[in-house]
Structure 1
Amino acid sequence: MNNDLMALEPKKVFEFFAEILQIPRPSKKEDKIIEYLLKWGNDRKLETLRDEIGNVLIRKPATKGFEAKPWVCLQSHMDMVCEKNSDKVFDFEKDSIETYIEDGWLKAKGTTLGADDGIGMAMALAILDSDDIEHGNIECLFTVDEETGLSGAEALKPDFLNSRILINLDSEDEGELFIGCAGGKDTMGKLPYELEPCTEGKAYRISVFGGKGGHSGDDINKGLANANKVLNRILWTLNDALVYALASFEGGNLRNAIAREANAVVVVDQENAKEMIEMVKKYNDDIRFEFRSTEPNLGVKIEEVERPKEVIDPMTQEDLLNVLYAIPHGVLAMSREIPNFVETSTNLASVKMVDNCFVIATSQRSSIETAKEAACDRNEACLRLVGADVTHGDGYPGWVPNPQSKILKIAEQSYEKLFGKKPIVRAIHAGLECGLIGEKYKGMDMISFGPTLRGVHSPDEKLEIKTVEMCWRHTLDILKNV
């Protein structure tokens, strides 16, 4: 047990969080935490349900005098991102998270903390466990697999919940109320290529390195470099200036991340080698200047390598460079209702070579469903122009902001009463389960908030302790005043 949590306030919240930290709960492997929740609810003789995919719902009757209030759902997710430092020996399927406190923050020892969204779960359990908190009928929904596919929220049946008001406890900035999020959909193009023998010339690897990367939704408007775009730009420029053969192009990894690194191997005649090297060096200076304020460590380098035995056929090389230049990356539209909010974007996520095909993956996001589909169609059009075979993922819906939301007004008034200042109301250009839940339950009145977290999805994850009590007080006051 993490004894350092036992002295923290709110006491019950951190007691339950300490219990949750003892239970392995990787995405898609939530059996142990599901078992814990079912036993927890049944031991307290609360109505406790599990659906087919593993979502758990625990209901608690209203306290005396609050029976006429509407049902409210408190929603959080069970699973956590499992990342550790390379020198940390740790098995996320067996071991318990170890914590320590530093400068007002709760941290884990070399692993992700799992406060995303374990702290939301703990708050819900503390309310269910209480006998002195005033509230109407409440139900606490704990979903599976939020981190790797939103499949728990997607599998919800329309009759599982009684509530038409939902508070999502999975946001990461105390003092901010979220009222909307983007939906998302992936697009993949496969561009086949032929290989031709390569018997002469000098080979060079051109690499883009030092990019920050970042979340393809929340960071898409921060002026960060996409390594795939940076690499393709110099290859396209070289292709226009001199003759070379492309042997490989690889960049990016995750659909929801901006590509940090990319590299290509090219073969050039001896007489053009010096010019190529000079062009790449100049391009490095240019690109570092362009991104000087947002990407201080970004760079492009060229180094001689062993000549490959085969290269890509010239027609496909031309098609690849053209389509990667044509496919957009970044913000496509800003919201017309919410200042400084990205409505629609696209991310050139990765370029891979698989089974004699260039596999080009893009990820589109929008808070407007029709705009999301249009962004997908735009990328499909680019890919089809060069003869690529195009497919789309199923996608997930966005959560359209409703500034007139009744639960929002209650939450705003509550926050100002408790803390003497107005909360920030905003939407997020990333996926939340609220989008899928709102699709299943038309008219569901929703907000999302939570204590302050930093470094989520990494071993740097940390929870600001004082904000947990603020979030706790805010939640209880909302339940009292719904």
Structure 2
Amino acid sequence: MLSTLTPKFVWQIFNDICKIPHPSHHEQMITKYIVDFANTHHIDCKLDKVGNILLTKPATKGMEACPSIALQAHMDMVPQKNEGTSHNFLTDSIQAYVDGEWVKAKGTTLGADNGVGLASALAVLIDPAVEHGPIEVLVTVSEETGMHGAFGLQPDWLKSQYLINTDSEDEGEIFTGCAGGVDFTSTFSITYAVIPEKHDCYMSISLKGLKGGHSGCDIHLGRGNAIKLMARFLAQYAQDVSFRLADIKGGSLRNAIPREAFAEITLNKQDLPKLEAIIKQYQTILHNELGHVEPAIEITLSEVESNKVKRILTTEHQDKIINWLNTAPNGVVRMSDQLHGVVETSLNLGIVSIKDNQFNTHFLIRSQVDSAKDAVVSTLISLSQLVNANYEISGGYSGWEPNLDSQLLKLAKDKYHEIFSQQAKIMVIHAGLECGLFKQSYPHMDMISIGPTIVSPHSPDEKVNIQSVYRYWELLVAILKSASLLK
């Protein structure tokens, strides 16, 4: 049981959070939980116009003169599940369980991103053993789908000079900067044709079993993108069979590396053995190229009921879609020259779909350098123009520039060394943290980001290390106890 783990208050609250459906843009129930939590414990609580929540608590006895510190987390989670898992993220609880040194979920994302951070912030407010100066807890909405809460944050809402973001995913690392990002959506209209008389075979091609993961934190790990691998198959290998494309889809979130992609096709039944042989060949190729990183990758063929395939794409638009996806850039664009091992610029082809006679693709571009981010956008604009596609650029935000002279950073480093007799790593993350947006409303606020070790966030393989939660909590409590050193 999660509620028996240490630190007690953190795990008990996280256990509560797992029971409450809270995917992005469906945060009503988790909002009610936080408001009820505040009322139950007599903590001041207010909501802003976009749904962010601010809880405030006075200093513990003897620490009234300490500067105020804000703890920040987001309330939403990424809703991803394995194929065949029966789970409704709008109504069902996350089935969290302990597996050795880790907490995992059965067939779905766990929501440790950012549920453990949220639980720790709320635990600070009720744990009588925690000594602290004045505390603000800021809980934002819909971070995972565009940082809507951070974008809507009022400039005068917070009073704290210091802020600890709890959304990092590597215990022992203190983050003091992050990448900026922007969404890019490309669409074009498509037309359909009648299924040829000789095409008496209706098949679905499924590419599954990939690890997926966070499109920022995991983009450099060499994992496969299911959409790109499906496009490669259709463009390079399946051309040996006279198939016609009826539908193609893959991915579900622009900030998650796609784990699955599907294509529905028609063909002459006489060509089916050849297609099966080509798929078997491609499976071997993928295992040879990606087997060390993606050992469970699988491409399969299954029959589709003929009455479910009503029409096919014209050859013109079939070729247009396949060539577009096969050409579309994806992955790491450039590594940082200043920060060893850190990605500077990347993009993720996160979603592809056909809906209402329109073909849609959605990218998320990230970069530490705004001009490099703009260069990737320019590339996607050029590709869109080549196929006469419409495009939309949205949700752009700048990165969080590192401040190595931060007082809060120095305090966190000192406390980490004091507690664990080792040095914390000072890092910049290739992912979007809300700190970059907070800086726009609070340019003089001193910020860091810390958190426990979370592996494979944004995927059903997500898990959080139990011991790292304890260590993260020890550091957080020590920083708060030593807040007087920030004056």
Q: Per the shorter chain, which TM-score range?
A: 0.7 to 0.9
Give the alignment of 1:73-222 within 5 angstroms.
Answer: 73-81=70-78, 101=98, 103-105=100-102, 114-129=111-126, 133-202=130-199, 203=201, 205=203, 206-222=205-221
Q: 1:12·1:126 contact (CA, 8 Å) conserved in 2?
A: yes
Q: 2:213·2:457 contact (CA, 8 Å) conserved in 1?
A: no
> Which range moved further: 157-166 or 223-232?
223-232
1:69–1:454 Cα change, 3 Å:
same
Letter in 1 for 2:438: I
Give the alignment of 1:49-68 within 5 angstroms.
Answer: 49-62=46-59, 66=63
Corresponding position: 1:376 with 2:385: no
Letter in 1 for 2:147: L
Q: CA deviation at 1:188?
A: 1.8
Taking structure 1 as the reference length, the TM-score comes to 0.83
1:458–1:273 Cα change, 3 Å:
closer
Q: CA deviation at 1:467?
A: 3.1
Give the alignment of 1:257-406 within 5 angstroms.
Answer: 257-266=256-265, 279-301=278-300, 310-406=311-407
Q: State the alpha-carbon separation in 2 of the partners of residues 148 and 102 from structure 1.
A: 29
Q: State the alpha-carbon separation in 2 of the partners of residues 48 and 430 from structure 1.
A: 30
SS in 1 for 2:415: helix
> Which range moved further: 144-153 or 451-460?
451-460
Q: State the alpha-carbon separation in 2 of the partners of residues 96 and 304 from structure 1.
A: 34
Taking structure 2 as the reference length, the TM-score comes to 0.82
Give a deviation string over 1:373-432, Cα, whole Å, max 9, x none: 322221121021011111223234432333443322221121011110111222322222
> Which range moved further: 243-252 or 311-320?
243-252
SS in 2 for 1:470: helix
Q: State the alpha-carbon separation in 1 of the partners of residues 419 and 209 from structure 2.
A: 44
1:266–1:143 Cα change, 3 Å:
closer
1:409–1:379 Cα change, 3 Å:
same
Identity of paired residues, percent? 42
Correspondence for 1:429: 430
Give a deviation string over 1:239-281, Cα, whole Å, max 9, x none: 8778654443333332222223334345567998777665554
Q: 2:45·2:54 contact (CA, 8 Å) conserved in 1?
A: yes
1:337–1:324 Cα change, 3 Å:
same
Correspondence for 1:223: 222
> Which range moved further: 380-389 or 57-66?
57-66
Q: 2:256·2:458 contact (CA, 8 Å) conserved in 1?
A: no
Letter in 1 for 2:174: L
Letter in 2 for 1:468: V
Q: CA deviation at 1:102?
A: 5.2
Q: CA deviation at 1:335?
A: 1.5
Gaps of 5+ in 2: none
Correspondence for 1:233: 232
SS in 1 for 2:317: helix
Gaps of 5+ in 1: none
Letter in 1 for 2:434: E
Q: CA deviation at 1:160?
A: 0.6
Letter in 2 for 1:328: P
Q: State the alpha-carbon separation in 2 of the partners of residues 101 and 273 from structure 1.
A: 45
1:336–1:285 Cα change, 3 Å:
same
Q: State the alpha-carbon separation in 1 of the partners of residues 86 and 206 from structure 2.
A: 32
Q: CA deviation at 1:21?
A: 6.0
Letter in 2 for 1:318: D
Q: State the alpha-carbon separation in 1 of the partners of residues 271 and 26 from structure 2.
A: 55
Q: State the alpha-carbon separation in 1 of the partners of residues 276 and 105 from structure 2.
A: 46
Give a deviation string over 1:157-180, Cα, whole Å, max 9, x none: 011111232101222332121222
> Which range moved further: 326-335 or 201-210?
201-210
> Which range moved further: 82-91 or 16-25?
82-91
Q: CA deviation at 1:300?
A: 4.0
Q: State the alpha-carbon separation in 2 of the partners of residues 289 and 106 from structure 1.
A: 32
Q: State the alpha-carbon separation in 2 of the partners of residues 138 and 316 from structure 1.
A: 57
Q: State the alpha-carbon separation in 1 of the partners of residues 340 and 32 from structure 2.
A: 44
What is the CA RMSD across the aligned residues, in angstroms? 3.8
Q: 1:248·1:264 contact (CA, 8 Å) conserved in 2?
A: yes
Q: 1:186·1:362 contact (CA, 8 Å) conserved in 2?
A: yes
Q: 1:22·1:95 contact (CA, 8 Å) conserved in 2?
A: yes
Q: State the alpha-carbon separation in 2 of the partners of residues 173 and 367 from structure 1.
A: 19
SS in 2 for 1:394: strand
1:126–1:280 Cα change, 3 Å:
closer
1:260–1:8 Cα change, 3 Å:
closer
Q: State the alpha-carbon separation in 2 of the partners of residues 132 and 14 from structure 1.
A: 16
Q: 2:416·2:423 contact (CA, 8 Å) conserved in 1?
A: yes
Q: 2:213·2:458 contact (CA, 8 Å) conserved in 1?
A: no
Q: 1:24·1:93 contact (CA, 8 Å) conserved in 2?
A: yes
Give a deviation string over 1:8-61, Cα, whole Å, max 9, x none: 544554555566567665544444554554465567665543322232223334
Q: 1:199·1:309 contact (CA, 8 Å) conserved in 2?
A: no
